[in-house]
Structure 1
Amino acid sequence: MKISLSRVNKAVHFEGSSQLTDVKVNIDGTPAIGGEGKGVRPMELVLMALGSCSVLDLISILQKQRQEIVDIQVEVAGKRREEVPNIFTNIHIDFLLKGDIDEVKAQKAAELAVKKYCSVHDMLAAGGVDITYSIKIN
């Protein structure tokens, strides 16, 4: 896997692309370093990566369990330490599910999705990040 970052302006706005897709992602820094609000920040991308990795696996598992998913939303919140580098110390994932979904099956599916199948979880947890999750149905 390989990605590319191309500078868009003379500030710190970049466009990210992957060899796997034609999708572009806008990335920008904080105003303190010249960011202009034209993209997401790198640490936001980390949270997005964790949330998306987990929810893709969660959907797959729930579908295999024949659970009827009407909608699914994910919220990911991270706390960072004060010292530089300002790494995440704690991250919490909220899965908000709508549909005819058995709560016991959903809890088991979330545990598998987050702790067994999500590669992003394993990388962050190996670095000492405490990752928790919760499920809310309807």
Structure 2
Amino acid sequence: MPAGRAFGPALGRTRPALRQTRTRASHHADPHAGWFEYGITVGAGHRGKGDAAEAVVMLLRFMIAERRCHTCQTRIFAENETSLAFHRRLGFVEEGRLRDHVFFAGRYHDLVVTGMLADEFAEQHPVSGYRSCVPDTLSV
């Protein structure tokens, strides 16, 4: 499924003020494997108002509850402490670091990969109708 089809319905549900916030998002999704990835940029004049958190929680709720995704990842420049802290507050955990992964502005930059599982999201942000896709016991 093209990523735009997966994310479009979630973004269409946002309140008018949020839709007018200067944001730019990029994303990838693999519904068969049950994962998705997003990135968000919020314009300087629109930061600190809670709009980004609201948009991300809405997106996660949609992708987990309606598209049945199991995991979400983000990739953040290691020097972007604001974004790293933002994602930690939402419940993302650091899963790894891609060293010198991106060449930008004349030098290489590390990317920090953060992630959140559907069950972790549901614990922090209750999702109506959500049931874990993982059985209570696994037989080996």
Q: TM-score, normalised by structure 2?
A: 0.35
Q: Computing the radius of gyration over CA atoms, which structure comes out larger, 1 or 2?
A: 1
Q: TM-score, normalised by structure 1?
A: 0.35
